[in-house]
Chains A and B, each alone.
Chain A
Amino acid sequence: MTNPGSDPFAGRTHKHTEWLRSGFQYWPRADGPPPALGDRRWTSDLILANWMQSEGVHPSGLEHRRGDSGGGFDALELKVLPQRDWVPETEEIDTTLQLNRRTSEPRIEIPIPWYGAGMSYGSVSEQIMLARAMAAERWNTFTSTGEGGYPDSLIPYQRHVITQIATGLFGVREETIQRTRIVEFKYAQGAKPGLGGHLLGDKTTLPVARMRESPPWVSLFSPFPFHSVYSVEDHRKHVDWIKTVNPAALVVVKVSTPTDIDMVAVGSYYAGANILQIDGSYGGTGAAPEIAKKNIAMPVEFAIPKVHRYLQEEGVRDEIVVLASGGLRTAHDMAKAIALGADGAVLGTAELVALGCTRCGNCERGRGCPFGLTTTDPELSLLVDPSWGAERISNLYGSMKSELEDILRKLGLSKVTELRGRTDLLRYIR
C-alpha cells in the first residue's frame, strides 16, 4: 500500500462505510437486538456493547460483562465486596504492568495490563495493522505484527510494535528484529494448537505475497513446530539468537495450552523468556478450523492457575510475566484471567469487533469479510480508515481501563497486580 489514506475507490467505498458506521450508532440503541448478530460466546449484547465502548460511550442497558457460552469465563463471576469495602473514588487505581520482571534491562511498563495480539499482514489488511499500531502508541502499549512481515508503514510506530517470529519465518529479517523492543516467538495458537498457520490462496494477494516473498495466490502454511526447535534446549538457543540480534529486546513466548503447559512455562523461563503468553482455545477468527477451535488442548481457565502455581512452586513466578489470551472479550474477562493467575492479557478479536466485526466467520476468504477487516483486497480494505480505526480501538481501551478500575475498586484492590492469583475472588456460576 503506497498511502493508507488514499482512496482510489472513493466513490464506491464512501456509501458503504457510511452505512456501516451509522450501524454502530443505530444498532446498540435500537429496540430489541438486531437479527443474527454474534454467537453464544460473542453475544449480540457483547458486540453492541463493544461498539458503544468504541465510540466512547458506557454500554448501559446491555449485558457487557459476560457471554452466553455456558463455560469458560462465562461460568465465572467476580465476588464484588460490599460497598463499604470498596476503594474510595478519591484513590487512584493503578493498572500499570511491568513487562520485564527480570533484573536485566530494559524496563518496559505499560499503563494498561494488556496489548494487542499478533495478526499478520495477509490475515488482516495493512489498514487494520496501522489502526492497531496507532492505538497502541496512543496508549503506550503494544501490538504485534503476526507473522506476515513488517509493513514499512508501521515503522513510525515501531516502539509499540512487537515483531513476531512464527514457524514459517515469513517476513522475519534482522532489521525487523532489531527495530522492536519486544520479540514474540509464536509456537502455537490456542485456536488451533499443533496446526501451524494457514493463509489460504485467496488471501495471498500480490502485496501479501511480496511481503512474504512467496508466490501469489498460493496457500501459505507455517509448519508446526519450528523446524529448528524440537526441545527446550533448542528453544533456549532460539532465544539466545534473538538476544544476539537485538540484545535489548524482551522475549515473549506464545504457546497454546497443552496438558504439560506448566513444564513449557518453566522451560521458557529458564530459556530466558520475559513474557509467557498462554493462548487459550476460545479465540481465533473464522479462519481457524472449526474442528480445532475449543476442541484441542486444555481450557485456558485451567491452564492459567496451573502455570501460576507451578511457577510459584518453582520460585520464579515474579521473574516472568504471564499473559492470557484467546477469547478475552471484556475487562471482566481480563480481570478473571488475572484473578486466575495471569499478570495481564492479550486482546485480539475484541479489537476487530471494535472495527465492525460481527463474528460472521467469513475470515479465510480473500473477499469474505463484509467489513474490510480480514482481507487484503485493495478495495475492501479501504472500508477501514486507519485513524478512524485507531480512534475506536483507543476508545475501547479507555472504556476497558475504566471498567477494570471499577472492578478493582469493587474488589477492594488499588493495584491490578494485587488481583493476580486471587482465585478466592472468583466463583463458579452454574
Chain B
Amino acid sequence: MSKSRTAIARQIIRARKQTVGLIDPREFTRKAAAEGGCGVIGIASSMQIEGRHLLQSLMQMRNRGNGKGGGAALAGLEPVAFGVDSSTLSEDYLIAVAYLDLAARPDVERQFIIPKFEIDHTHEFPLRGELEPRPPKVVAYFARPKSGALAEFKKTSGLSGLGAEELEDEFVYQNSYKLNRSFYAALGDTRAFVLSHGKDLLVLKLVGFGDDVFRVYGLEDMKAHIWIGHHRYPTKGRVWHPGGAHPFVGLNEALVHNGDFANYTSVCSYLAQHNIRPQFLTDTEVSALVFDLHHRTFGYPLEYVIETLAPTTERDFAMLPEEKRRTYGQLQASHIHGSPDGPWFFLLAQSLRNGAGPREVRLIGITDTSMLRPQVFALQQGEAGQPSIGFAASEKQAIDAALQSLSESDGRFWTHPDLIWNARGGSHTDGGAFQFKVMRGPDGQAELHCRDKFGRQIEIEEVSTPYRGEIRISRAAGSAQDDRFDQVRDDLHSWSYADLQGNLSGLLNGEHNRRDQLTLIGLLLDRRVDTGQMRRSSVLSILDQALATWIQAVKEDANSQFTYHAHGLALPEPSEPRPAVVLDATGFPAQGPHSLALEMGSLVDRGFRDIVVMNVRGQRFIANGLGADTGDIRIDVFGSSGDYLASGIDGAQVIVHGSGQDQLAQIMKNGKLVVHGDVGQTFMYGAKGGEAYVLGHAAGRPLINAVGNPRVVINGSCLDYLAESFMAGDPLADGGFVVLNGISFDGRGRLIDLETPYPGGNLFSLASGGAIFLRDPNRAVGADQLNGGEFSEMSSDHWELVRPLLEENERLFGIPVSRLLTHEGGPAAPEFVYRLIIPAGHEALQPEQAWIRH
C-alpha cells in the first residue's frame, strides 16, 4: 500500500469506530446458522441476458439446497427495467431495501433515506405468486447523497483525505449499517434490511430456493450482464429470515458462497480489529466484508485480495516468481487471520467505476486453497461483434442447462461451451480464481474478457465461426457420403456446417443400421478431430441435434435394434431382436425412489444388458446399485451426467460420451469406465479394481484411498493429491496403478504435451502400494512433489504392464501409443518417456515390531 492509501485506509477504519462502537469479541462466538453446501451458478455475458436462463440450472441443482435460502445477484442492469436512464443507473446508488414488515417503511425512509439522499427514482418490485414464508417487499431507491448530509458526514467522520466518490461510498456503507442496526438484528427484531447498495448492482433474496427468487421478483424477464443464482443449505432452526440468505454485499460486490468456515470467530475478530461488525452472523457475510475491506478500503488489486482469501501455500508458493513471493508473503503475514479456513467456493458479482461510461461489471469465482468444494468454469467465445459468455458453477450440468436455455431463445448462443475447466486453488498456475469482466463502451458494445488471478487471459486459440443458424437434421434429405468414421474424420476438416448437417441427415435416413448410426455419432462426439472451418463446440451442438433425431427415429422405428423407454412409460421387456434399450432421461429425478438410476436398475432386472441413456440433465448415481458381477452390462451415457456415476460397478462397462462430474467410480470393484472428457473431484475414491480411461483431466484427489488393483489411464493431468494413500499392492503382482499421460489437444484436435504432467504439490502422498507411471520425458516433475513416493527405475516388465492399457487407450480415444512415445520429434524408449513412482515406505506406515518378520 502506498503511504497515502495507508492514510486513507486508516481514516476509514477510524471513522467506523464512531458508527460501530466497541465490539465485544464474545458477540461472535456463535454463528446464527451453519452453512452447508450450496448450489451456485454465475453467468457473465457481454450481451445482457434475461434471468430466466438460470431457472433450469437452479431447478436441476435443487438437491444442493434445502429451500431455506435462495438469492440472486445482478450487475450491469438494464435501465429501462427500472424506468431510469443509463446515467442514473451508473451514477446513482441503487439502495435495495427488503421490508419484512411493511409498516417499517415510513420509519426507514424518514430516518435513513429521505434526510440522507436525493431520490431520483423509486422502483417497487411486485411480488408474484405465493411462497411461505412470505418474501420481503423490496423497494429499490436510486439515490445520490444529499450534499448537506455528506458534508456533515465528512466533518464528523474526519474523512478529509478521501476522493468524492470514495467518501460517498463510505457514507452509503455506514448509513446502511445503521439502518440494519436499527431495523434488523439477526437474533432480535427483523423489520427491514439493506439487500444491496452499490451502483448498477442488485441483490434479492428470500426464504425458499434460488429459482423462487427469480419467479417472485420477476427476474425472468429482467436483463443483466452478470447473474448469480444461489441455493442455500443452512442447518439451524425452524424460523428463517431472508437476511441470512446469500448473496451478501460489501459495497460494490455481492458474494455467494458454498461451504463452511472453521474459523468464523477468528475472521470476526479480524474484522472487529478494523471496526467492522457483522450483522447477519453467517460465514458468507464475513467473507463479503473481508473482500470489501481489502478491495475498497485497502485498495488492493483483485489479485492481492484473492491472495488474502486463498493464500498460496507449500510448493506452489515456492514456484512463484521472487517478486510475488515477497508481496504474497507480506499479504499473508498481515491478513492470514482474516483468511477464511475453507472448504469454500466464492462467486462474486462486482460493479466498478469505469471513467464516465457505464460501469465495469464482472463475475469472479475463487476456490479455497484445498479445493474442497465443487467448482467448474466455462467460456463460450463469440468472434468479434458477437456475444461471449462465461460461467462459474457448482456443477457442469448447470452450465449446460443455462446454455441450453440461452440457445433456445437466442440463436447467437449454442449448447456447448468452448472451454471448460476447474480452478486449482491457491496455486502458482492459475491462482484458483477467474474473473469474467464485461467492458462496456459508450456505444452499447461490450466485450467479455476472462482472466485468471494473475491476469492471464483465457481464450480459445483460433476464433472460428460458430454455427448460429437453425440446426436441420432430417431423416430423409441428403445421403451420407460415407458412414465409416475413418473416412468422416479425414473429411471433416473440409466440411461446412451445411455439409455436416447434410451428411448427418443422410446417415440417419433409415436405410442404415441404427446401431451403426449411434456408433458414428458417438465417435464424432467423443473424438478430438480437426473440424476445419467449423468450431468444435458448434459441431457438438449439431451432433446433439443428430442424437435427438436419432432418438426420435428409434421411438418411431419398429424395426430398430433398440427398445425405446422414457419417463411415464411402462417398463419394457427385452425381446429379440431388441436386446438393447434407449432410455430417455428427460423428466427423471436426480435421486430418490423414482430416480433415473433406479429406473436403470429396473431395466437391468428386466433383463436388459445394453442400455443407452440419453438426454441426461445432471441426474446422479447412474449405473449405481447394479450389484455384484455385472460383467455383461454395458451402459452408454449421453448428455450432462451427474455425480457418483459408475460408483460401485462390479464388471459393468460404462461409457460416458462427454465429461463426468464429481465422485465418479467411487468404490468401483471391477469393469470398465470410459470417460470421453474430464472427470471431477475424488474420482475413484476407495476404488477396489477395474479399468478406467479418461480422455481429459481429473480434478482434485483422484484415486484417493484406492486399494486392490484399479488400473487407470488419465490422459490429461489432475489438480492435486493424485493417489493419496494409494494401497493397490504390487503392480507386477496383479496390483493397481495409474498412468498419467500429461497430454491435451489443441483447437485442431492435435495432441500437445502439457507443460508438466502434474502441477500439484502432492503426488502419491502416504501411498503404500501400487504405482504411478508418469509420462514426463522432460523431467518436469520433481521429487519435491512426492510426499511418500519415490522415483524408481522403469523396467521392461513395467512397460509390458502399461502397454496393453495404452493400446486400449489408443482404440478408445485415438491417442496413438507411438505418439505417446515421441519426444522432441522422434521416437523414444518407453522407459525414458515414462517415469515410475513407487511408495517410498513411509515410516508412519511401518509395523512397530519385528515379530511379524519371522
Contacts and interface: CB of A to CB of B under 8 A. Distances in A.
A20 B701 CA distance: 48
A314 B237 CA distance: 6
A223 B37 contact: no
Contacts of A402: none
A169 B705 contact: yes
A243 interface: yes
Nearest to B38: A233
A8 interface: no
A287 to B, nearest CB: 12
B591 A212 contact: no
Interface in A214-252: 214-215, 217-223, 227-228, 230-234, 236-237, 240-241, 243-247
A85 interface: no
B36 A245 contact: no
B595 A244 contact: yes
B236 A230 contact: no
B233 A233 contact: yes
A122 interface: no
A173 B669 contact: yes
B630 to A, nearest CB: 9
A240 B620 contact: yes
B186 to A, nearest CB: 16
A299 interface: no
B21 interface: no
B34 A267 contact: yes
Contacts of A246: 625
A243 B648 CA distance: 13
B66 interface: yes
Interface in B1-42: 33-39
Contacts of A98: none
Contacts of B65: 233
B259 A230 contact: yes
Contact of A201 (B237, B598, B666, B847): B847
Contacts of A245: 624-625, 648
A200 B233 contact: no
B629 to A, nearest CB: 9
Contacts, number: 190
B614 interface: no
Contacts of A200: 847-848
Given A174-B626, A201-B845, A217-B852, A263 B235 contact: yes
Nearest to A220: B727
Interface residues of A, number: 54
Contacts of B688: 173, 213
A171 B702 CA distance: 19
A169 B708 CA distance: 12
A174 B37 contact: no
Contacts of A366: 847, 849, 851-852
Given A212-B707, A315-B238, A219 B644 contact: no
Contacts of A223: 704-705, 725
A180 to B, nearest CB: 13
Contacts of A220: 727
B621 interface: yes
Given A214-B727, A233-B36, A314 B238 contact: yes
Contact of B238 (A174, A212, A213, A313): A313
A264 B39 CA distance: 19
Given A201-B845, A366-B852, A169 B666 contact: yes
Interface string A367-405: 100000000000000000000000000000000000000
A290 interface: no
A172 B628 CA distance: 12
A254 interface: no
Contact of B597 (A177, A232, A244): A244
Contacts of A169: 666-667, 685-686, 705
Nearest to A231: B37
Contacts of B621: 240-241, 244
A221 B725 contact: yes
Given A214-B768, A218-B727, A241 B644 contact: yes
Contacts of B666: 169, 228, 241
A357 B662 CA distance: 44
B663 A270 contact: no
Interface in A103-123: none
Interface in B43-85: 63-66
A230 B38 CA distance: 11
A305 interface: no
Contacts of B662: 228
B163 interface: no
A263 B264 CA distance: 15
Contact of B648 (A170, A173, A201): A173
Contact of A365 (B647, B681, B849): B849
Nearest to A203: B847
Interface in B502-556: none
B235 A365 contact: no
A202 B66 CA distance: 46
A227 B851 contact: no
A263 B725 CA distance: 31
A400 to B, nearest CB: 35
Interface of A: 167-170, 172-175, 177-178, 200-202, 204, 212-215, 217-223, 227-228, 230-234, 236-237, 240-241, 243-247, 260, 262-264, 266-267, 270, 313-315, 365-367
Given A213-B729, A227-B705, 5 more contacts: A169-B667, A213-B707, A228-B685, A236-B63, A365-B849
30 contacts: A173-B667, A174-B628, A174-B650, A177-B648, A202-B852, A212-B727, A213-B727, A214-B768, A215-B769, A218-B769, A218-B847, A221-B725, A227-B701, A227-B705, A230-B259, A230-B260, A231-B35, A231-B36, A231-B343, A233-B36, A236-B63, A240-B621, A241-B647, A244-B595, A244-B597, A244-B621, A244-B625, A245-B648, A247-B593, A263-B235
- 8 pairs of A and B residues whose beta carbons are closest in the complex: A169-B686, A233-B37, A201-B847, A231-B37, A232-B36, A213-B708, A267-B235, A213-B707
Interface of B: 33-39, 63-66, 233, 235-238, 258-260, 343, 372-373, 591-593, 595, 597-598, 601, 620-621, 624-628, 643-644, 647-648, 650, 662-663, 666-667, 669, 681-682, 685-686, 688-689, 701, 704-705, 707-709, 725, 727-730, 766, 768-769, 844-849, 851-852
